[in-house]
Structure 1
Amino acid sequence: MPPRTHLSLCKFITRHPFRPSSKPISPIPIKPITTKSFHPFCHPTTLPPSRFNKPLYPQFNICRSYNVETDKVVDEINLKFAEAREEIEMAMESKETVYFNEEAECARAVVKEVLEMYAGLLSKLPEKERGGIQRSMGLKIEQLKAELEQLNE
């Protein structure tokens, strides 16, 4: 730092000292954690009812309301989704090389598998759960289809 700038900075700091800021006010109610109110192995549904356990904005409360088996399938689809995106990315990187066709076929196969898993899950679910799955995963599936279309161009 040049000396002139250093002096200017020192003068500025001495003329305008740091003042303590006011305590920030949070719109979220904060309850201090005590040993009585928090147990690390306690599931949130077993906590005693209080206003702090209720969601602040219930209309934005997104929770999975489906069963454990559906949860496992959703997790498998999410893992395959990540794998499919990586395959598409590798194929896009190898565009205009001799390896492109192999990479593209591999990516198409993984995307096809993801779409089949998703369609199979939706066909097995009742209407209410199907809507929840479509809301939570539909955009990802559409994104995957769009990326595959980019690959095909």
Structure 2
Amino acid sequence: MISSELVPNSFKSPNPKFLHAPVSNIHTFTHPFTRSLLNRFPTGHTLRRHSTESGSGPVPEIDVNKEVDMINLKFAEAREEIEMAMESKETVYFNEEAECARAAVKEVMDMFEGLLGKLQEGKKAALQRSMGLKMEQLKAELQQLDD
């Protein structure tokens, strides 16, 4: 049961399925949902798509900033893993630390390549310019572990 404080203009009902009464019939669909859509959009009429969508269905919107933030966070973690491995270079813990660093770098590179694969050419090139050197730096730091 949803609290009436959270939903404005609602009232308590003995039947929790009906939390509010619709104001108009414009957005009320009859059951089953698919039958009501077929009645509203007869054969030959289709729903209009956004210009960024392909004919195969809706394309999920990519939150590039959120993904870049995650990559940057994982980038910092990977650098810390590399640093810890470098500090343990002459110890018995080196192999384990180096393996953790390799896994962290692989995760960052996979995330970066995955994001590049989702973007259109213009945005892909901009991301490559802004983050490509950081990714190369990470690979070079990891390479130092093997030297």
TM bucket (normalised to shorter chain) is 0.5 to 0.7
Aligned to 1:56: none
Structure 1 Cα separation of the partners of residues 62 and 117 of structure 2: 17
Q: 2:68 aligns with which of 69, 74, 95?
A: 74
Map 1:114-125 → 2, pairs under 5 A: 114-125=108-119
Structure 1 unaligned segments of length 5 or more: list them: 1-66
Aligned to 1:131: 125
Structure 2 unaligned segments of length 5 or more: list them: 1-60
- Aligned-pair identity (%): 72
- The SS at the match of 2:84 is helix
Q: Which amino acid aligns with 2:71?
A: I
Structure 1 Cα separation of the partners of residues 74 and 146 of structure 2: 20
TM-score by length of 2: 0.58
Give the deviation of 1:152 after TM superposition: 1.5
Write out per-residue CA displacement over residues 108-152 of structure 1, whole angstroms, 9 at most, x where no aligned residue: 000000000000000000000001101110010000000011112
Write out per-residue CA displacement over residues 83-102 of structure 1, whole angstroms, 9 at most, x where no aligned residue: 00000000000001000001
Aligned to 1:152: 146
Superposed CA RMSD in Å reads 1.2
Aligned to 1:49: none
1:97 and 2:95 matched: no
Q: Which amino acid aligns with 1:74?
A: V
Structure 2 Cα separation of the partners of residues 133 and 141 of structure 1: 11
Choose between structure 1 and 2: higher helix proportion.
1
Give the deviation of 1:68 after TM superposition: 6.7
Structure 2 Cα separation of the partners of residues 122 and 152 of structure 1: 28
Structure 1 Cα separation of the partners of residues 89 and 145 of structure 2: 9
Task: State the number of aligned residues.
Answer: 87
Structure 2 Cα separation of the partners of residues 114 and 122 of structure 1: 12
Aligned to 2:28: none
